[in-house]
Amino acid sequence: MTTKLISKAHSKEISIRYSLMAFVFWVLTLGWIAVIFHLSAETDVESAGLSKAILNFINEICNTAFTDDSLLRMVAHSSEFALLTILTYMALSSTNKISNKTSYSESPVKLMRSDNEMNIIFTLWFTILNAIFDEYHQLFVTGRDGSIFDVMIDMIGIVIVLIIIRVAFTIYLKSKGRTEVVYN
């Protein structure tokens, strides 16, 4: 009887480590969303000035003479959402591990096959919605416009990071001699 009580009490424990990790990653995620919002709130003149300053810095360091900043802007769009993807995935993953009783593994409805798939799908939706909101927000900024093309560029960064996460997770499990826990 005491063994059952201990095992029940143990399974209800909340992980302080994952609670702190989830808190930190959610703060970083929301902070990065605020940075993206701030950058999107810049007027066309401010945004162009920042791009030109970064391009000049790159030209100095690499001893080049690029004048067109369109490639730099595409890389910046993709990179800012790649970072948001990493932070969001880590926040969701940490949140899912806070307690066994609140994890996806305990859910009666299994729409995805594993916790990792759940984290990847929710990260994908969260970051794409942020990319769409970012472009929508730019519709109200002087000299800026929202572009579905920019959402597609954002999605390149998002998808590349999620593929890397999926492959790295699989390699990590194989290196530990384990397989992914799949729910039926």
Query: What's the pLDDT tens digit per position in 48-99?
Result: 899 899 988 988 998 888 888 888 889 999 999 999 999 999 999 999 888 7
How many domains would you assign to the chain?
Answer: 1
- Indicate whether 150 pLDDT > 80: yes
Q: Using 50, 70 and 90 to split pLDDT, how confident is the model at 4?
A: very low
Q: pLDDT at residue 108 above 80?
A: no
Tell me if residue 99 falls in helix, strand or coil. Answer: strand
pLDDT tier at 17, thresholds 50, 70, 90: very high
> 144 in a domain, yes or no?
yes
Is residue 181 situated within a structural domain? no
pTM: 0.83
Residue 84: inside a domain: yes
Within a domain: 138: yes
Mean pLDDT to the nearest integer, 30-47: 94
Alpha-carbon separation of residue 181 from 39, 105, 113, 155, 162 (angstroms)? 40, 9, 8, 28, 19
Alpha helices in the chain (DSSP H): 2-11, 16-40, 44-62, 70-96, 115-138, 148-175
Q: Does residue 99 belong to any structural domain of this protein? A: yes
pLDDT score, position 2: 42
pLDDT for 149 beyond 80: yes
Say if residue 123's pLDDT is above 80.
Answer: yes
In a domain? residue 58: no
Would you say residue 1 has pLDDT above 80? no
Q: Please state, rounded to an integer, the average pLDDT across all residues of the chain.
A: 86
Residue 7 located in a structural domain: no
Q: With respect to residue 69, please indicate whether it lies within any of the assigned structural domains.
A: yes
Residue 151 — very low, low, confident or very high, per pLDDT cuts 50/70/90? very high
Domain residue limits at 162: 14-41+65-175
- Give the integer Cα–Cα distance in Å for 179 and 184: 15
Confidence of residue 111 (pLDDT cuts 50, 70, 90): low
Residues 6+ apart with CB under 8 A from 162: 85, 89, 120, 123, 124
